[in-house]
Amino acid sequence: MVPKDDKSMCLLKIGENCTAAGSECMVGTTCKEQTCMCPENSGPNTAKDKCLMYVGGQCAESGDCVQGVNVVCNSSKCACTSNKYAPSDMMDMCKLKLNQTCTNADECGMNTVCSTTCACEANYVAEENRCGMKVGGACTGDTHCVMNAECKSEKCACSGTYTSDGDYCKSGSAAVVASLLLLVAALVTSRLM
């Protein structure tokens, strides 16, 4: 418990049970599922007495952002330091970008290894600071696959109107444009001969 600002009563910390009659969660938190919790896109500090914003959240200073994970307040938003990025599934921490010097795999993102620099695991391909399983590769969920692909029957497959372009998926309209350009080039070449 933490004292209320006016010292009239103690308030419950983040993670404490909030079912007792007359009990109150600390300022900035709410009682959800009988537990005091931080608002969406934020999490508790180590002492569990303050909610800190995840990457992308509003801030006035770096102390308003999640701690110890290379996050700073930049232009009133919590952001990763320059050689790091926030994986979409881990907005509460920043990971080293691909090809950055590392000392262990925990510093790198999902599906990576550390061999002096962050690199993709075998059968994974680099794609915007992340490593995704290439089209046709084995998967257990959509987050393992390259962008614009989904895990179908335990294999990564392009979703919706996206088509396979080797290891990646590209927009169906881009594939049509590329095919038309090849067709036009072939027609022009055949007429010149």
The better pLDDT of the pair 65, 88 is held by: 65
Among 115-129, 130-144, 174-188, where is mean pLDDT lowest? 174-188
- CA dist., res. 24 & res. 19, Å (int): 9
pLDDT value, residue 14: 93
Burial 57-95 (b: 16+ CB within 10 A, else e): bebeeeebbbeebbbebeeeebbbeeebbbeeeebbbbb
Cα-flanking dihedrals φ and ψ of residue 190, to 5°? -70, -30
Task: Look at residues 170, 109, 111 and name the one whose alpha carbon lies nearest to residue 139.
Answer: 111
| pLDDT at position 23 | 64
Give the pLDDT of residue 110: 86
**pLDDT tens digits for range 82-113:** 888 887 766 788 889 999 999 998 899 888 99
User: CA-CA distance, 177 to 186, in Å (whole number)?
Assistant: 14
Over the stretch 137-182, which tens digit does the pLDDT of each residue have?
999 988 889 999 999 999 999 999 999 999 999 987 655 555 555 5
Query: By three-state DSSP, how is residue 12 classified?
Result: strand
Q: What percent of the chain has pLDDT over 90?
A: 46
**What pLDDT score does 6 carry?**
54
